[in-house]
Amino acid sequence: MATDSKGSVQKKLGTMRSPLLNAKLIAGLLFAGCVAAAGLIGPLFWNANLSRVASSPPNLPPLLAGASPDFPAPSVDHPLGTESNGRDMLALLIAATPNSLRVGLLAAALGVGLGILLGFTAGFVGGWVDNVIRVLSDSIMTIPSLAVLIVVSAYVRQVNLENMALILALFAWPGPTRLIRAQVLSMRERGYVRMAVLSCASPFDIMFKELMPNLLPYLAASFTGGVSGSILAAAGLESLGLGPTRVPTLGMTIFYAIRASAIIRGMWWWWGFPILMLVLIFVGLFLITIGLDEIANPRLRKAKTA
């Protein structure tokens, strides 16, 4: 009986040490989940229509700022204050956060999807196909992407969320392509891949049925990194006024604050809360990427448990 109980305890400890129970991954999921929930569930508890222009009294400071001779008295009806256009900051964050996440998810999905296709093709097929894809991806990675994105965004007449995601996806695929190509090159020489080749399996089946399941943690880490990079690039373009003007986003909120001289006027809540929301998004996605990297990389797991 003692042996059985000892064995059961060891089994429980083994399950508790599962790679999926990664502290960084769990913390990142909590960060990202809270931010996503604020945008998705927020309209159920707060009037999202207050994010429209002239829907609230302008220039109200948040409650935590207290009274100030330069601004009207804070109002309980607007706990995070309002900006000069008469938009409630809490409602604006609730409306803008899902749009910024949507741009990042769309751009990363397009970039990683193209990277999967090109990376698997280059790594498995090899030859001149590999050379062309490798040279093309390496060449694009040397181009200053932000400068090109600024030029492209300036020439697009009407920028919406989908157009913004397409523009960002132009430079979102070389990184995943190189990562996947390197992993496929190291995995195609393994025994189960050679057995699949000897059994006359098609290249499509070998790439996407034999190799891809073993690369899912790497792909997930690449995707979360792509989402973070796309949101950062979108916020940078929007802060320059090159984003969607009819849809509230975190970057466009910062742009309107800069244009209205909110920093000089002391309206820190106008630009501070959107930046804080972006920081929470980046921290959550960074922790998710690090956690997935530790799950996929056995060397990091060994170094952590040593």
- How many whole angstroms separate alpha carbon 5 and alpha carbon 255? 63
Residue 2 reports pLDDT greater than 50? no
Cβ-proximal residues to 119 (8 Å cutoff; 6+ apart), any chain: 133, 176, 177, 178, 179, 180, 181, 183, 184
Distances (CA, A) of 90 to 43, 47, 96: 10, 9, 10
What mean pLDDT comes out for the span 222-238?
Answer: 89
Q: Which residues of 239-267 are buried (b: 16+ CB within 10 A; e: fewer)?
A: bbebbbeebbbbbbbbbbbeebebeeeeb
The separation between CA 62 and the C-alpha centre of its own chain, rounded to angstroms, equals 29
Beta-bridged to residue 82, according to DSSP, are 88
Could you report the per-residue pLDDT of 233-281, keeping only the tens digit for each?
899 888 888 888 888 899 999 999 999 999 998 899 999 999 999 999 9
Q: Is residue 99 part of a domain?
A: yes
Q: Is residue 229 part of a domain?
A: yes
- How many whole angstroms separate alpha carbon 282 and alpha carbon 11? 36
Query: In the chain, how many domains are there?
Result: 1
Q: Is residue 84 part of a domain?
A: yes
Q: Is residue 18 part of a domain?
A: no
Q: Is residue 19 part of a domain?
A: no
Could you report the per-residue pLDDT of 276-306, keeping only the tens digit for each?
999 999 999 999 888 887 777 655 555 555 5
Q: Is residue 276 part of a domain?
A: yes
Residue 6 reports pLDDT greater than 50? no
Cβ-proximal residues to 48 (8 Å cutoff; 6+ apart), any chain: 42, 91, 94, 95
User: Which of 85, 73, 26, 79 is closest to 256 using CA atoms?
Assistant: 85
Residue 9 reports pLDDT greater than 50? no
**Cα 172-252-115 angle, rounded to 5 deg:** 10
Residue 8 reports pLDDT greater than 70? no
Q: Is residue 30 part of a domain?
A: no
Q: What is the pLDDT of residue 215?
A: 80
Residue 12 reports pLDDT greater than 50? no
Residues 233-238: contacts with CB under 8 Å, at least 24 apart = 233/107, 233/145, 233/146, 233/149, 233/168, 233/171, 234/100, 234/103, 234/104, 234/107, 234/164, 234/168, 235/100, 235/278, 236/146, 237/149, 237/150, 237/153, 237/164, 237/167
**Cα 53-58-63 angle, rounded to 5 deg:** 120
Q: Is residue 278 part of a domain?
A: yes
Cβ-proximal residues to 8 (8 Å cutoff; 6+ apart), any chain: none
Residue pair 140/111 in contact by the 8 Å Cβ criterion: no
Percent of the chain with pLDDT over 90: 20
Residue 189's domain comprises 41-305
Beta-bridged to residue 88, according to DSSP, are 82
- Domain with residue 273: its CATH number is 1.10.3720.10
